[in-house]
Structure formats: structure tokens, C-alpha cells
Structure 1
């Protein structure tokens, strides 16, 4: 490990290891926090929209005529799915509330860290909400074990897209030599 801070106030990294921020001019700690905050805002807008649409769909299902025909297992799945959707919405919208309550208190770094954690939590719950919603719909459409198999494959795809790929890219970036 290099013990001296790098230009621009960036924290030390292992020698010969590139970081994702190594492209472009060095940025100050304040610039980095501002950039990260704007990135989180953009990511949150995308995720919030998706979970709000999904939650609206879920909430409306209980008022459809076909809802009466759901068995106890599917009703329990519906309740779980709706609670996951509402919890995901809460986690994804929370950074806005946090920012509003602490605005002007010079806590942007802490807000960015908390927002990042809430985003991860909200995204996990959103993936579970999508999986449960798909299972609920496929129970009605396909019936039987095929619904669970299809949902299992879709959830593996979520894991590949939302976890495996980003972790591989992150590892690759850390293995890249500094230029």
C-alpha cells in the first residue's frame, strides 16, 4: 500500500492497481462527493420510477375481479410482494428525505454513503419484488412447477446483471495497471 495521499486528495490505493476514478483530471474530495451525489440522484430517479410503477400495479390487483379467485398461497405471495414493493420504494425514496432534513448541515459525504447503502437495499428488494410479481403472474398463467422454474431463471439473470457483472468489472478495474 502507498502511504502518501495521491494528487487531488484521493485515498491511497495498492500500487499498480487502477481505480474507476483514475480517468481524467484529479478531483478534490468536495468535487468527488458532489459527483457521487449527482450520480446517486440519477440512479435513484431510474429505480424510483420502476418501483413506483410496479407498486401501483400491485396495489391495483387487489381490486380486480380475478383477485377473488387466488388461493391462500397466492394471496400470501401477493401480500409479501406488495410489502417488498412498498419497502423498496421507501428505501429508494429515503435519500430525498434524508437530504431534505440535513440540507445545509455539511453532511453531504455522510448523506452520499447512506444513500448508496439505501440504493443497494432498495435494489435488492426491487429485484425480489419483481421476482415475486413474476411468480404471482406465472402462477395464474402457467400453473405448476414451470412457473417456479421460469422465475428461477429470471432471478439468476438478475443476479448476473446486477451483481456478477458489476463485480467482474470492478475486479478487472482493480487489476488494470496504473498509467
Structure 2
């Protein structure tokens, strides 16, 4: 795999020096076939192997989904812990369109999610820890070549405002702590 990645980078550098546009997917496919690999090298591995003197010119071309941070803001979606919808306690029924939550077949997912969405899977892997969800996503975005100087959070889960205030404060505090690297004692200190 290392030879393949090196060859891909060599072709990218040559194309840059000649002022040519290059189709990265074609290069990855042809190079993987050349070395007899069944899978293409991952973009993260290619980005990590770019020589320092070429990072400034190649990383913007390699960035996965550049539109994701085109505004200068990295959007990080996080998910609160699974919690029963307050609607159930009032009516005794769940909404037909709401597949998830602790009372569903997807008991490990939050309300209105199945657990197979990318954000859900990241949250489950982090055991719904807001600090870990944030750190992992920020690291992933960095590895894909995105700037994470400015971050906007999207709190998913559907029942966040129905959770106890202590949990909401803990959750938001840990989101900010994950960005700053500082451990705060309360929400006011965190923000």
C-alpha cells in the first residue's frame, strides 16, 4: 500500500508542476491495479503522506468534500444520549414516523434515528460522550484536510431539550471543553 500511496503522490506532484488537472479517483484506481491491490488507498493516508513542501498546494486539491468547510466554518454534528420522547408520557404512543429511541427496535439510538446514520454511528462508538464525539470528529475533519479553526455544533437527538438541565449543561460544557482543551467546572466557564 505504501508504494501505491507514494506513486499516487508522485503523479499528483508531476501534474501540479506541469499545471495539469488530474482525476484523483482515476489515478488511485490505476495505481492500485498496477500494484495488484483490491482496494484503493484511503484519502486520509494519501493526505498524511504528502511531503511538507507540497502540502500547501496539494492538500486543497485532495480535500474530501471541500464544500463542507467552504464558508470557513466546520460543522460538527453530535448526538445526545438516547432518551424517551416526552410525547410518549402524555399519550402513551410513539409517533409513526419516529423509528428510534429506547422503546424501539433501535434501542441504542436516539429518538427519530435508526443508529445507522453517520452521526449516530459516531455517537454510539463514543458511547454518547460529547467530549469524545467532538474530539473524534474534529480529528477526522483535520485528517481530511479541513480547517477546524471555527466550529458550529449541531446537537441531534430530538429530545435534547426534554433532558434534565444538569445533563444539558454537562453536554454543552463538554462540547466546548473538547474544542478548548480546558476542563471547566460549569457551563459559564466553558463558554
Question: TM-score w.r.t. structure 2 length?
Answer: 0.24
Structure possessing the higher relative contact order (Cα contacts under 8 Å, 6 or more residues apart): 1
Higher strand share: 2
Question: TM-score w.r.t. structure 1 length?
Answer: 0.25
